[in-house]
Structure 1
């Protein structure tokens, strides 16, 4: 039960159906005491079990679809890699950003607005409980960059 949405019990094999039924019956969830950085980076970015269920989850907007389809951003590590671009002094907060990584996204990944994907990655990471976000290696206190307006979007 790594993702936060209900699992269909019709399609999987009988053993999996029994397992899911048991998990649902007893309310079992995914939990770990001290997850490693590698595990945290491999957790799903979309439908994460640690997302704030009181906030509207933006999993299907234009930028979210672009991140999945064009950037192959499926894990927390992928999202962090994209979001940390905000800290690059060469990155500008515009759709026409000319930094190397945004240019590469436009040319090789087919992304029309790389900065929108950068801000979506940051806002998506802000929707997940900080316990599930890997700590940065460079000793900075802030693990997820915040957009200039302070919203992370």
Structure 2
């Protein structure tokens, strides 16, 4: 069983492995809804990693530990951020674990069928209408849509809980943040560069692709990753004239030379 193939999330057998990991959990994780146990490398819940685990699955986790597998990158694309599981998000504030058993969260999982960060964001946008009121009986367009589509009795409460879940995400993992991909633009070459076969340095730092592209091996366990976003915006260009004045630094100060 190869770790690299498993983390591609494509072969059918990886779904079986995820299901087995979700079933073989210590007592401390029994309260976690099995329906939201998606992947041990993307979420904070734990599976058995000792002799109680299925031998081949233990080999998989042992290999990951041996080679220092972890999520790592300076910044990730919004597509990747939206596809991350929201429940027990691995990079979220630990507070998110205590938010999974509320009535609103249960409704989000059972009626709204919310599983990803992107689905959570989409629900919060439903109550951004100016006509929305913070009430379970709000009749704004968004609340009426939530009632009709998901048979939800408390649309404002569920949308508000969705926002609380998102607020546990650090800037680097929050798709609502301004991300480097928003201002670094596309990688382009000029005609002259193409003509001279010159490939300029690509200064973009966003990891794109799919969730399988966020993992790295041979990482340093003593170096913690940061969940803050770097500010790589270009300095604003000064368009107006700049007047420089001196005082006492020239001869005949105040007189025309």
| Pairwise same-fold verdict (TM > 0.5) | yes
* Distance change >3 Å, CA 118–CA 135, structure 1 → 2: closer
CA shift digits 1:33-52 (9 cap, x unpaired)? 32111000001111001111
CA shift digits 1:100-135 (9 cap, x unpaired)? 231122233121101001110111111111210114
C-alpha contact (below 8 Å) 2:111/2:150 kept by paired residues? yes
Find the aligned partners of 2:75 and 2:149 in 1 and give their Cα distance. 38
Match of 2:163 among 108, 116, 122: 122
> Bigger radius of gyration, 1 or 2?
2
Find out whether 1:103 has 2:122 as its counterpart. Answer: no
Match of 2:59 among 5, 13, 18: 18
Find the aligned partners of 1:54 and 1:45 in 2 and give their Cα distance. 13
Query: Any idea what SS the aligned residue of 1:57 has?
Result: helix
Find out whether 1:72 has 2:113 as its counterpart. Answer: yes
TM-score for the superposition, normalised by structure 2:
0.47
* Distance change >3 Å, CA 98–CA 130, structure 1 → 2: same
Tell me the residue number matched to 2:42: 2
Tell me the residue number matched to 2:126: 85
C-alpha contact (below 8 Å) 1:91/1:99 kept by paired residues? yes
C-alpha contact (below 8 Å) 2:104/2:161 kept by paired residues? yes
Match of 2:103 among 59, 62, 81: 62
Find the aligned partners of 1:136 and 1:114 in 2 and give their Cα distance. 24
What aligned pairs does 1:128-143 form with structure 2 within 5 A after superposition?
Answer: 128-135=169-176
Select between 74-83 and 127-136 the one with higher mean Cα deviation. Answer: 127-136
Find the aligned partners of 1:123 and 1:21 in 2 and give their Cα distance. 35
Structure 1 portions without partners, runs of 5+: 140-153
Find the aligned partners of 2:165 and 2:54 in 1 and give their Cα distance. 30
Structure 2 portions without partners, runs of 5+: 1-40, 183-257
Select between 1-10 and 42-51 the one with higher mean Cα deviation. Answer: 1-10
TM-score for the superposition, normalised by structure 1:
0.76
Tell me the residue number matched to 1:143: none
The alignment of Structure 1 onto Structure 2 pairs a total of residues equal to 137
Deviation at 1:29, TM superposition (A): 2.6
Select between 109-118 and 21-30 the one with higher mean Cα deviation. Answer: 21-30
C-alpha contact (below 8 Å) 2:83/2:116 kept by paired residues? yes
C-alpha contact (below 8 Å) 2:126/2:143 kept by paired residues? no
Tell me the residue number matched to 1:149: none
